[in-house]
Amino acid sequence: MIDYLIVGAGLAGISFAELAINNGKQVVVFDNDSQNSSRIAGGLYNPVILKRFSEVWDAENQLKDMADFYDSLKDKFSVTLDHKLPIYRKFFSVEEQNNWFLAADKKALSPFLSTNLQFLNFKGIHAPYGYGEVLHTGYVDTALLLQHYHDFLKKFGWYRKEEFNYSALSLKDDRVAYNGVEAKHVIFAEGFGLHNNPYFNFLPLDGTKGELFIIKANDLNIDVIVNTSVFILPLGEGLFKVGATYNWKDKTDLPTKEGRIELIERIKEIINCDFEVVQHFAGVRPTVRDRKPLVGTHNLYPQLHILNGLGTRGVMLGPSMAKALYNQIENKMPLVPEINWVRFLNKNWK
């Protein structure tokens, strides 16, 4: 009998798998490749919600957990996954500068917002009001991360590229059985695929579609991430990742004409040089109404657990939420109420 069946091989699933394996647990991870939000994600991590100049919940602990996680994977795979880059928020007015200083004066935000405005002449960007620098930021190469981690799981026979058949799952008193495999626990980390899960599909996982570009802009020269209504992330050789849109109605992973138009308009607000769209892709982020993850154990079936709802901050939240769930299961450490899915029990949230 193994310890964990993990359904989903995105950021949530591999974060839990790595923690379990490092603690001597046996796992099997299922991946049907239906949810691509982890793979195509911008991969940015940022402890500040720049749109509202507000703090990210529990940002300090999340940054520590993610640093430990990606540093350990760097050693395991001999490849750099975590690229530490500052995020520069371009200002469009004196009022925006003032709002920045007001935010930086708040106790929760002061560790993350520099009060030294940056006036840099990046080629391809006109920024007469300068930039505000966000500290402790960067991006994770999520596609490379998933490629290496899936290969690692395959090497030991811990990876199954197949659709998980919920109807084939048999619940015993202290274990589960699935197609000839017995396990102590199941971790459901399917992202937006949660809607097909008969044990947790009542939870309010909305899903938010995001569209991104890879653009070619030979006359743009930045060595930081520039952010306004979208981010521009340098990839090298004149290529940049740009994103992302937010669509709460469309639940497909197909790029749209509307998304293309929106991204092009927003890029033109930031840069003043020519660019070419090289690639256009889309995915559905697993988002929740209250912008907090869905973590915990089923109220009727103690063998079943959920690790979902990482939303737009999967690279930050994944390691921290996996740690919280693992400690709940193995060490009986209670989850904080903010992330425990039971907060939606007996609530009129529909």
Mean pLDDT of the chain: 94
Cβ(269)–Cβ(124) below 8 Å: no
Can you tell me the distance from the alpha carbon of 1 to that of 68, in angstroms, rounded to the nearest whole number?
30
Amino acid at residue number 164: F
Q: Are 8 and 93 contained in the same domain?
A: no
pLDDT on residue 349: 44
Which pLDDT tens digit goes with each residue over 41-88? 779 999 999 888 888 999 999 999 999 999 999 999 999 999 999 999
Q: Are 147 and 281 contained in the same domain?
A: no
Instruction: For residue 39, give the CATH number of its domain.
Output: 3.50.50.60
Which pLDDT tens digit goes with each residue over 83-104? 999 999 999 999 999 999 999 9
Q: Are 111 and 10 contained in the same domain?
A: no
48 part of a folded domain = no
Can you tell me the distance from the alpha carbon of 164 to that of 144, in angstroms, rounded to the nearest whole number?
24
Residue 248's domain comprises 86-136+208-285
Higher-pLDDT residue of 33, 350: 33
Residue after which a domain boundary falls, among 285, 319, 334: 285
Summarize the confidence of residues 169-186 as an average pLDDT: 95
Q: Are 212 and 281 contained in the same domain?
A: yes
pLDDT on residue 35: 61
Residue after which a domain boundary falls, among 243, 260, 285: 285
Q: Which residues pair with 211 in a beta bridge?
A: 282
Q: Are 131 and 255 contained in the same domain?
A: yes
Q: Are 281 and 213 contained in the same domain?
A: yes
Q: Are 132 and 224 contained in the same domain?
A: yes
Q: Are 127 and 235 contained in the same domain?
A: yes
Q: How confident is the model at residue 36 (pLDDT cuts 50, 70, 90)?
A: low
Q: How many domains does the chain have?
A: 2
Q: Are 100 and 196 contained in the same domain?
A: no
Q: Are 212 and 338 contained in the same domain?
A: no
Which pLDDT tens digit goes with each residue over 107-124? 999 999 999 999 999 999
64 part of a folded domain = no
Cβ(283)–Cβ(289) below 8 Å: no
Cβ(12)–Cβ(39) below 8 Å: no
pTM, to two decimals: 0.94
Q: Are 229 and 281 contained in the same domain?
A: yes
72 part of a folded domain = no
Which pLDDT tens digit goes with each residue over 219-254? 999 999 999 989 999 999 999 999 999 999 999 999
Instruction: For residue 90, give the CATH number of its domain.
Output: 3.30.9.10
Examine the pLDDT at 348 and tell me if it is beyond 80: no
Which pLDDT tens digit goes with each residue over 289-310? 898 999 999 999 999 999 999 9
Q: Are 128 and 218 contained in the same domain?
A: yes
3-state DSSP of 219-241: CCECCCEEECCCEEEEEECCEEE
Residue after which a domain boundary falls, among 266, 285, 304: 285
